[in-house]
Amino acid sequence: MKTESSKNNLLYHYTSMSTLLKILDVNESGKLCVWATHAKYFNDPYEYNLAISLMKRSMYRYETENLIQERKSKNFNMKTISSFGYIAGYPFILSLSENADDLAMWRTYGADGRGVAIGFDKKMLEDYSDSKEVENTRLIRCEYRENDVLKGLIKYWSVVYDSINFNEGRTTLSSFRLLFDISNFGFSFKKSDYKNEKEWRLCKNEINSDKIYFIERGGVIIPYIRHQFPRELVKKIIVGPCVNKEMTKESIENFLKIRKYVAEKNFVHLSRVPYRQI
């Protein structure tokens, strides 16, 4: 079935109706509060370790292609490198998608069709991640093609290989570059099973423990952080296919009006996906 794709200027966050209210109900400073979850608690728990594994494989290929005899890759300890990456701060992710109205996304992330897809301004997210006011934050497009990832990593090793040294499980560098590169790569690579999600991630390594909060979900205590955005970040809201569409659309519009959002005409849309729960 053909679905509506996001225009280049919007990225969508699928979530529940209750989370929409929490996001739109601005705080005392007039900012939106959007939560980002610790990377360990995402839908594919093995993706970070898989990324580390690919880094080691690519390093081995780089050494082979360049006839390097004293291979650093033989001392590339996955556990040590993974822990080393966390020195840059605990990794938190806000998941977004290019897909504007997608059945699989509704089922998996949009409360099984009873939630919403919030359209965020991509340029504002990019400006936010580049801002000096926030540290260790970046907007990353996920990569799903393993061969392309390996080729890119081989080029990466050609630049930083000489500055890295692994001795008895310990890592030394001439700079802290690898700290953030490991984290960036761990954030961005996903298995091909997820390629239809067309995911982007707003990623942040949080060093300050005072800015880490916790919530219970399904019997698990999950860490998260709070991003503060201007309300103009939200450009569109798509109402899920399994709600009372007209009533929900009207209630969201009333909420926006009372909270004094300056919303353009047709700010709230109805899903076109023919999906209903039986």
Residue 234's Cβ-side half-sphere holds a number of Cα atoms within 13 Å equal to 26
pLDDT digits (tens, 9 = 90+) for 60-107: 999 999 999 988 888 776 565 555 556 667 889 999 999 999 999 999
What residue ranges do the domains of the chain occupy?
Answer: 4-270
Number of Cβ atoms within 10 Å of the Cβ of 244: 11
Question: Which pTM value belongs to this model?
Answer: 0.83
Does residue 271 register a pLDDT over 60? yes
Residue-wise pLDDT for 153-202, tens only, equals 888 888 888 877 766 555 555 445 666 676 677 677 788 888 999 999 99
User: Once rounded to an integer, what is the mean pLDDT over residues 250-257?
Assistant: 92
Q: CA 16 → CA 143, 183, 216, 225, 247, distances in Å? A: 26, 29, 16, 18, 16
CA distances from 220 to 33, 216, 253 (A): 22, 5, 34
CA angle 68, 74, 79 (to 5 degrees): 140
